[in-house]
Amino acid sequence: MSRLQAARAKAQEIRSAQEQALSQLHPHSLYIALWLRNDPPPLDDFHWAFYHHKGPAGGTIYQVKELGEGWITDHGVSGCIFKSLFLCCLVQIGSIAAASEQTLDLTIRSYDNKLNEIPNVTCKVWLFKSLLQLLRHALIHCHDPKLLETECLAFGNKFRLDASGNVQPRPVVVATSCLKYFDNQAVMMVAISSSASSS
């Protein structure tokens, strides 16, 4: 096999692993997604966003990014989040009822027009302010948002070197601070996906 053929075969293997990981995500599940910001990746240094998985066609990434001296929204549809460059891991924080998806969308976007009015805004600050709104609307349940932040950082730190080395697919894990509120099917599907990622 030539180098070109080997490279093509490896690329196809990666695409297949990413697409299989996507197929194992539970429809309507909500995640905190972490991306590497630097390579080599230092501890506790991630880009934070929400990912709402709608089904086989993918879902929506909700995020804010720094532009010049301010911050802008960069929400958008993702066909396969596992193909996203520098993705580190997905941390499931909830499962959204189909009837509540519009409320979820509006709630996450509630700071869009006043993003730069948030004191000391960063992607993580915006995400946790939005998360508090999700809690107030009972769209997700988490007994300790600070513990959730600690968990996400621990997961990101654990998987950052694998992400830097392009180990595929990226892992999917469940936040224990939210776990007891999930339905059994959501937990089962995430467990399968996480197991496949670590094998």
Give residue-wise pLDDT tens across range 93-146. 999 999 999 999 999 999 999 999 999 999 999 999 999 999 999 999 998 999
For residue 78, the cross-strand partners are 59
- Say which DSSP state 33 is in: E
User: Could you tell me if residue 7 is inside a domain?
Assistant: no
Biggest CA pair distance of the chain: 58
Beta carbons of 94 and 182 less than 8 angstroms apart? yes
How high is the pLDDT of residue 198? 42
Instruction: Classify residue 88 as exposed, middle or buried by CB count within 10 Å of its CB (0-12, 13-18, 19+).
Output: buried
Beta carbons of 21 and 193 less than 8 angstroms apart? yes
How high is the pLDDT of residue 180? 64
Across the range 60-87, mean pLDDT stands at 96
- Say which DSSP state 182 is in: S
Radius of gyration of the chain (CA): 17
Place of tokens 């995400």: 127
Give CA–CA dist 139/151, Å, rounded.
20
How high is the pLDDT of residue 142? 92
User: Could you tell me if residue 82 is inside a domain?
Assistant: yes
Assess whether pLDDT exceeds 60 at residue 13.
Answer: yes
Assess whether pLDDT exceeds 50 at residue 191.
Answer: no
Pairing of the two strands 58-62 and 46-55: antiparallel
With a pLDDT cut of 70, the percent of the chain lying above it is 90
Domain that holds residue 81: 25-198
Assess whether pLDDT exceeds 60 at residue 192.
Answer: no
The structure's pTM equals 0.89
End-to-end CA distance of the chain: 26
User: Could you tell me if residue 16 is inside a domain?
Assistant: no
Beta carbons of 73 and 56 less than 8 angstroms apart? no
User: Could you tell me if residue 92 is inside a domain?
Assistant: yes
For residue 46, the cross-strand partners are 36
User: Could you tell me if residue 4 is inside a domain?
Assistant: no
Number of compact structural domains in the chain? 1
43 CB contacts (<8 Å, ≥6 apart)? 157, 160
User: Could you tell me if residue 68 is inside a domain?
Assistant: yes
Assess whether pLDDT exceeds 60 at residue 185.
Answer: no
Assess whether pLDDT exceeds 50 at residue 69.
Answer: yes
User: Could you tell me if residue 3 is inside a domain?
Assistant: no
Assess whether pLDDT exceeds 50 at residue 197.
Answer: no
User: Could you tell me if residue 41 is inside a domain?
Assistant: yes
Q: 183: pLDDT confidence band, cut at 50, 70 and 90?
A: low
